[in-house]
Structure 1
Amino acid sequence: MKKKALLWVAGLAATTGGALGLTDNETKVRAAENKIISQSANTSPEVGTTSSREPFAESVDVSMSADKSLQVTEGFHLGSTSISGISTPGGEVSIKYLYDANYIAKVTVDDQGRWQAIIPKLAVGDCLLLEDYTIAPTNGGIPASAIYQLWPSKLTESNFDLATTNTTTVTGSGGYPGVEVEVTFSVKVGNQVRPMKSSGIVDQDGNFEVPIVKQATGYALNVQQKWNGTVFGIDGSHGVMNFYVKVVEGIEKPTVDKVSSKETKVTGRGKQGAKVRVQASGQEIGTATVGQNGVFEVTIPAQKMGNELQITQEEDKDVSESTKVIVEQEVPEVTSELKEGMTTISGTASPGADVAVWTGAVAPVANVKSDVITGQWTATVPALIGGNSVQVSASLGLNQIKSSIRYGIELGSITELRAIIAGERVKVTGKGSPGATLNVKAGGNFVGTTTVDNTGKFELLIRRTIEGEKLSVSQTKNGMNSIVSETLVLKGIDAPNNIDIVTASSTEVSGKGKPGATVSIKVNGQEIGTGQVNNDGNFEVTIPKQAEGTKLSITQKEGEDESASVVVTVISAQLTKPTIDDYYVSAAYIRGTAPAGAVRVTLIIDGKVTKIGSINADGKYAIYANDIAALKVAGTNFEIAVTDVHGQRSEVASGTVKGLSNLMVNPYRAGQANITGAVEKNVERIAVYDKAGTILRYGQINADGTFRIYVSGFAAMQVVGDNFTVRALNSTGIIAQATATILP
């Protein structure tokens, strides 16, 4: 059983300011210190029969006069009522308690110099003074004397456990039951540092605890020991009556990672081998040991948002300060698959949170609320684009927003993959992710690449003609890779091609195929029409009128060899071709207007899809082209086409890269107020630049095409021999420029 402790401050009221280092003028006592002060002393220890230790020994301390003629030789021990010894023959030994005037015994020394006295039963703490005045006349009036003391075994610094800057209870072992251990330490009261004393009683097992407040590194705790209120030291009631226990630097508090309401683990860094404890509301909820890498992981029950966790680490009996962590809002997660074409995303967040979903655009594409109990949520989004990313955020109010990591959208699998021998080459066809780069390998070797067009289709010819050879095909887009699809090279028939638009009023489907082949048209697996390809390679198949949006699957068959299907979507009417604004060699964007119903715009150069652009809500489109070398050459032809939601392409619009327009600059002499000249009528602005290319000023363009730019006051326009540049611009960028020299 541990003994209660007593804390007191000499000369102070029963309030203190806490440990050293607290703020000045502090008038309240820490709760922990109040608890210490309120404890009382129990000074009636008894060694129980269940004690785990051996009986505790008492120590006998002796002080004698210089001649040492008076001594106790037997009987001075705990419980004794008789002591005997030696002194001067014929003398008289007087015995009394030290510092007491009354004698408890007087006995005569026999002629052999021996004596014996009956005394009260000896107890721990008794100090007897023995005197014999026989030698006083010949010893300058000084009698023979001796002091015999019976004290508990003494504590030393070695009996104390390590005291650190984290210590709030000084502990130790090996003490004598009932001894009061008193420790003096420092506290700050207001703006003063004062000593404070605290004590504890050694229990029946020899252990003791003394409450203190935390002390600074290097501070020496002053320790005294008392028996029945009397201080005794290493030599009993005299000599050095105290010793010191030095405070050393304690174990630091652990570093703890953030904890959310969903998590069941607390992680962080601490001292290798230290034990980490996690508490919530004063209750321990988990422990772990710091690993060799300094990292710990404590399993705990999930906590409510806003709860405070206190995390400490301890080594031996040294317990660090606690690191306090507030349980945060749960970080939202996406738990569903993210594959190209999907329109539903689901995940988890804090219950009742407002969840916003981004799939690549600047603004969120969906806003939903998580379930108030489970935190689960589901959002409907536009079809996911492979290679883009998904991110969600969850909000529980002002400054309570958490964002997820970014999740990549998987590219869809390659479908309708076929490899058909066509003459001396193999034609590889199929469907993939629009804009993705397609790579084909045979036997682990790269054999071909192409770009999937904006309708999701691809076709390329490779120099392989071995029937039965295995090809591996993959696609890459925005750093995302699809799974590898495989197909065997077959000797087969190509799919029908050049199929005309099919509208809701159409009763025929026409296109091109292999002469003599049979063309089949199906809807949802049901055949709705067949026809024969004529000798010219053309076919026309009669079908019933189909509703807009119906998908027609068209194949051709020759003998047992049936081609891959071509899927055509029935539309209300074919999209008209887009318009193209004038495009000059120095322009950054190709701009124009798309017809109603268009959702995607495509740039085609030399028959190849080069770039895919976006269409604004007002029908305007822009395709960045400043990085395309071919479009930096005047006279280069290009094409623009758009597609609808069904992938049906419009008529193709053709454009040509225009050279810079004519621009004439009249001779300019230093000191002139204006630069003048003439431009073509499609110019919207005119500007002058100094020789370093820095714009100086915009000018005025007149209705007849002449212009003037006021440059008076510009030092750069006054240096004879320097060059300057005049540039004509419109909404597409620079369309003309001319460089001239400043004349004298």
Structure 2
Amino acid sequence: MKKRKVLIGALSAGVVLSPIASQYTPIVDSASAATQVQVTPKQFFPSYVISELRYSLTRVQVDVCNFVVGSPIGLMPPFGRGQSHNIWTNAQGKVSFDYPLDVATANDSKLWTEEGLEITIGKKLYAPIMNQLVTTDSTVVTGYGIPDAKITLKKGTQTLGEVLVNQWGQYALTIPKQTSGTILSIVQSKNNETSIETKTTVLAPATWTTPIVYKTDTHAVVFGNGSPGEKIELGDYTTYAREEAIVNANGNYEIRMDVAQTSNAMGLMHARTEHHYFGEHLETPRVTGSVTPSAIKVGSSYVRGTFTGAVTKGLLVINGNPETLRGEFTGTEFRYYVDPSKFKAGDRLEFIGFNSANKVITQGETVRVTP
């Protein structure tokens, strides 16, 4: 992997994350830096703070303070590529890792904690985290940053809002609804320093909110939503196989991994260069039914076929772009409408069956396209 230049010197870089014990924690409202409002965090984060990074030409020291005294904290390079350390905190809830710098630089200057926080060596201020995608329905942007840092949200050169990060590292900014395709950027600044940007593109509301996972005879497939340009990484925890994709202009991505390289424990990382990531644990769905689609002619409006099990709706994926969940499933036969202008001979079509709870319960099957 390409090595990055590493800045040498003492860094003070912290991100305070909401304690597990706190169901509700105060957060600074965007209308007034003095106003405190109750907000439930949108996403779970580990209960510790990365308090300081210090490194020399050969070593990197990571100082961590945990809100839970006497519990272990782990630090490792991405995807297990190198030494991993797990150390118990002391009586003050603190622990320090002394890590070879070449391990970090060999992995794009990154280290991971066992609970999913990414540390980037060489940056004094992290890019702030956005908790969720911004859609045309969004009226608030929430996330995490460095306590007491100023968060600035912009559309081009126009500032849409500013707010201070609270003591738990949380922020919330009220925004007017934006049009689809608008690019927003957010930075945090403190002590006369400004972080790199976190950018996001405003999208239409997603038709699904969690990644969809299925297997075919040849591939494990994951597709979902993200911000255009965002890098998505898929890694298998058991085999360490890895693939990645870039979210397209429509906010969709597809990752296909050779099924022989995968187990049933895959991890999905939403990652940006020099950015914290959030991860999701994925498991290959348990197959309890089947779909057998017939060939479809160019110009036809329906995928037809037979099914078994508790299939109540289907999803057609055309060249990695999913249609919507729908279909008529009666007895042992089904039909699924598709706009004939969306496919042609030579395209890759796959069909997956879902149950009434919108869970994948079949293997993905190829739909053969005939002239």
Q: TM-score, normalised by structure 1?
A: 0.21
Q: Which has the higher contact order (CA 8 A, sep 6+)?
A: 2
Larger Rg: 1
